[in-house]
């Protein structure tokens, strides 16, 4: 296996910085299950405020947070609708069915989004005893499989209004919500306030070693905490990990703009070299590269890239790879990737368009 010189496979590969490690080492801790860990309590307070909710619950992962949210909002046999390639539907091991007993229905999306009209047409109201009752609408912002695309605030507001008219609950899978906020110049709370539950991941662009928050109303929070224990997410001196989240809130949110700038530079460099990247779709820290146009499969392309020391990853789309920038990727790394990716894929100057 070749040494990876530039790892663009995901923003989950980030390493805790020296400052974050120092915060972890000096954290004041207690028994968080008994609400005696001040560092966890502070992270939960700040997280709830950041996404426009009353309370937040610290959890090991965003996947667990999503599943607890759905169990809070639905009942076994109910239906949740989401974009057909959302993380909730394709990358969480059938969790909505296993943990909440929910039927899932995917709506065809454009750039990871669906419309109010699609929601209205899809809803089963319960008038037929043969169909599940649609109970929840789930939105993913930014949308992973769409290439880090942003649900704009007006689009969220429109879907939320329709959902409320139809008596539906709303969940936001906001694992990369801060990317959307930084890219649009808005606050995460501007998006989060439209939803009943909001998931926020700490281990992606924010650079923490692990952890997530589930934010919700004060009314839902007690049951969410009970479900945390039921799901096996109870922890003890978890302030050691929560300290990383507080550090990230202080240091790693505004700098997400650097990741976005580097993603655009990478996309522009590959586009200028004649490579099939989705340049208009680069809105945050993802770049999608269609290696099928080069006559390669994802597997072949990834092997070639690895041989040159470049780490990318496959996507749900056939023969489309993704490069994801993050806090451990520098400007020099991007320039090296712009040089080595064409070399690995054996296409340089000739335009493919």
Residue 185: both structure tokens together: 């110049």
Burial group, residue 191, by CB count within 10 angstroms (0-12, 13-18, 19+): buried
212 touches 62 (CB < 8 A): yes
Model pLDDT for residues 207-233, shown as the tens digit of each residue? 999 999 999 999 999 999 999 999 998
Q: Which residues contact 146 (CB under 8 A, 6 or more apart)?
A: 83, 85, 109, 111, 112, 113, 281
For the sheet containing 313-314, what is the strand order?
A: 286-290, 320-324, 313-314
Q: What is the mean pLDDT of the chain?
A: 95
Question: Comparing 99 with 126, which gets the higher pLDDT?
Answer: 99
For 308-353, what is each residue's pLDDT tens digit?
999 999 999 999 999 999 999 999 999 999 999 999 997 543 444 4
Helix (H) or strand (E) holding 140: strand 134-140
> CA 133 → CA 122, 136, 139, distances in Å?
11, 9, 18
d(CA 90, CA 184): 27
Q: For residue 1, what pLDDT band results from cuts at 50, 70 and 90?
A: low
Dump pLDDT digits (tens) for 115-140: 999 999 999 887 788 889 999 999 99
Element (H, E) at 304: helix 298-307
Walk me through the domains of the chain, giving residue ranges and CATH numbers. Answer: 18-251 (3.40.640.10), 255-345 (3.90.1150.10)
């Amino acid at each position: 296996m070749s040494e990876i010189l530039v790892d663009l496979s995901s923003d989950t590969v980030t390493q805790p910085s020296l400052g974050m490690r120092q915060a972890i080492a000096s954290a004041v801790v207690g028994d968080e299950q008994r609400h005696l860990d001040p560092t966890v309590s502070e992270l939960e307070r700040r997280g709830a405020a950041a996404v426009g909710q009353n309370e937040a619950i610290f959890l090991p992962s965003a996947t667990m947070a999503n599943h607890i949210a759905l169990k809070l909002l639905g009942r076994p046999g109910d239906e949740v609708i989401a974009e057909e390639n959302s993380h909730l539907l394709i990358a969480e091991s059938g969790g909505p069915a296993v943990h909440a007993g929910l039927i899932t229905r995917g709506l065809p999306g454009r750039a990871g989004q669906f419309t109010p009209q699609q929601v209205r047409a899809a809803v089963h109201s319960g008038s037929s005893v043969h169909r599940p009752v649609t109970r929840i609408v789930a939105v993913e912002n930014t949308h992973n499989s769409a290439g880090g695309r942003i649900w704009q605030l007006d689009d969220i507001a429109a879907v939320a209004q329709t959902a409320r008219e139809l008596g539906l609950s709303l969940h936001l899978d906001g694992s990369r919500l801060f990317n959307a906020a930084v890219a649009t110049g808005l606050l995460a709370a501007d998006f989060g306030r439209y939803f009943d539950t909001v998931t926020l991941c700490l281990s992606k662009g924010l650079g923490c070693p692990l952890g997530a928050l589930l934010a919700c109303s004060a009314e839902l929070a007690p049951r969410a905490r009970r479900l945390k224990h039921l799901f096996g997410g109870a922890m003890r001196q978890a302030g050691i990990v929560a300290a990383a989240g507080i550090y990230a809130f202080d240091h790693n949110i505004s700098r997400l703009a650097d990741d976005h700038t580097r993603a655009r530079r990478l996309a522009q460099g590959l586009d200028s070299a004649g490579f099939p990247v989705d340049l208009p779709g680069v809105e945050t820290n993802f770049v999608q590269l269609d290696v099928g146009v080069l006559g390669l499969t994802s597997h072949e392309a990834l092997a070639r890239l690895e041989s040159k020391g470049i780490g990318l990853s496959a996507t749900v789309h056939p023969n489309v790879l993704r490069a994801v920038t993050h806090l451990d990727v520098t400007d020099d790394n991007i320039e090296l990737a712009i040089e080595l990716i064409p070399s690995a894929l054996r296409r340089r100057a000739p335009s493919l368009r």
